[in-house]
Amino acid sequence: MMLAVAEVTPAWYLILGSILFSIGAVGLLVRRNPLVMFMCVELMLNAVTLTFVTFSRMLNDVDGQTVVVFVLVVAAAEVVVGLGIIVALLRKLPTATADDINVLKG
């Protein structure tokens, strides 16, 4: 019904964001390479920023875009620290997967 209309409604953007988020979530659960898992987290973050921008436009509210700026900053910081951990880990165990990171196991 909705798809028959040749006009892009905000729901389309929200649906696309949901699809991207779930693809990222499945990738995070299925893959074991820490680098690829990290990329899946970036996918999920981007799905959320798309949703924020859509709501910002629909509600005439600039706060949604401000939040996206903060998400970008946090994502950049997260990538720096995360890749630092991965470098430190893979330097010792070059073939490590997420399953091998169990030193903290009780």
Least separation in angstroms between CB 89 and another protein = 9
Regarding 65 and contact with another protein (CB under 8 A), the answer is yes
Are the C-beta atoms of residues 27 and 82 closer than 8 Å to each other?
no
Which residues ranging from 24 to 53 are in contact with another protein (CB under 8 A)?
24-27, 29-33, 35-36, 38-40, 42-43, 46, 49-50, 53
Regarding 60 and contact with another protein (CB under 8 A), the answer is yes
Dist. CA 63–CA 66, nearest whole Å: 5
Dist. CA 47–CA 61, nearest whole Å: 19
Dist. CA 103–CA 43, nearest whole Å: 28
Least separation in angstroms between CB 69 and another protein = 6
